[in-house]
Amino acid sequence: MDQFMDRKNYTHRNPNPNYTPNYNSMQSLRFIQALARINRAAPKPTTPSRRTKQIRRAAYASMAYTSGSRHNWSRALLIRLRQRQRLRSLRLLTVRRRVRIVTPAMSRPEEPARAETLRRLVPGGKSMEYCNLLEETADYMQCLRSQVQLMQSLVDAFSS
């Protein structure tokens, strides 16, 4: 997936002089390409659940690649995806999934109680300070929302 997600290849081929690579267009492009790849592999017998997972992974990957290294959550997400990709190729992922590093809940007493839940939700949130966590949450929320809108419009297009 990495080879097709390289932003440089696309920007210099774009003949449109007004083209500005804004976030949504990049995200849409990546996600749709990923979908195309998954659909290309559709003739193979893939169960719906597996395709669901592939599509979900493609959704998060498109989010993470589009955000790039700008945010902690995208970096953490990319690292997680690449790790899982390597482990998947080595067929070790099933074992890895059960390993959970438990962060002590009392490590940050000055935060509100729900901060730990937020840390679990936002990728890479375990090691961030609280105010950085809030900033990352804001950006992550925006990306998630645009991804959801993208997928929703795709579903509407395909099912109508």
Partner 1 sequence: MNNPVDQQCFLDLNWDGSIDPALGSIGEISSFHSLYTPNLSTNGNIPVPQALIPTSCFDQFCNDSGFVDRAVRFSSFDGQNYNGFCDNIGLMGLPGGGACVNLVNKGQIGQQPAVSDNGFGSTVSDPSASVGTSKKRKCTPKGKGKDNSKEGDEEGKNATTKRYKGTDQTHQVENTVMPKVECGETTNEDSDKKNDKKENTKSKSVEPPKDYIHVRARRGQATDSHSLAERVRREKISQRMKLLQDLVPGCNKVTGKAVMLDEIINYVQSLQRQVEFLSMKLATVNPQLDFNTLPCLLPKDVHSSCNPVFDSVFPVETSGAAFSLMNRSLCAISTGTEAHMSKHHLSLDGINDIIQQANLWEANLQNVLQVETASSQSFQAEMQESHMKTEL
Tell the smallest beta-carbon distance from residue 49 to partner 1 (Å).
Answer: 8
Residue whose CB is less far from partner 1, 22 or 107: 22
Of 146, 154, 106, 126, residue with least CA distance to 24: 146
Tell the smallest beta-carbon distance from residue 33 to partner 1 (Å).
Answer: 6
Residue whose CB is less far from partner 1, 104 or 109: 109
Tell the smallest beta-carbon distance from residue 24 to partner 1 (Å).
Answer: 4
Residue whose CB is less far from partner 1, 103 or 146: 146
Which helix (H) or strand (E) segment holds residue 121: the answer is helix 115-121
Tell the smallest beta-carbon distance from residue 8 to partner 1 (Å).
Answer: 12
Tell the smallest beta-carbon distance from residue 121 to partner 1 (Å).
Answer: 5
Residue whose CB is less far from partner 1, 83 or 152: 152
Residue whose CB is less far from partner 1, 54 or 103: 54
Report the distance separating Cα 59 and Cα 151, nearest Å.
Answer: 8
Classify each residue of 77-100 as buried b or exposed e, where b means 16 or more C-beta atoms within 10 Å of its C-beta.
Answer: bbeebeeeeeeeeeeeeeeeeeee
Report the distance separating Cα 115 and Cα 119, nearest Å.
Answer: 6
Interface residues toward partner 1, by CB under 8 A: 4, 10, 13-16, 18-19, 22-25, 28-29, 32-33, 35-40, 42, 48, 51-56, 59-60, 110, 112-115, 117-118, 121-122, 130-131, 134-135, 137-138, 140-142, 144-160
Chain position carrying tokens 């002089």: 17
CB distance 24 to 108 below 8 Å: no
Report the distance separating Cα 77 and Cα 151, nearest Å.
Answer: 19
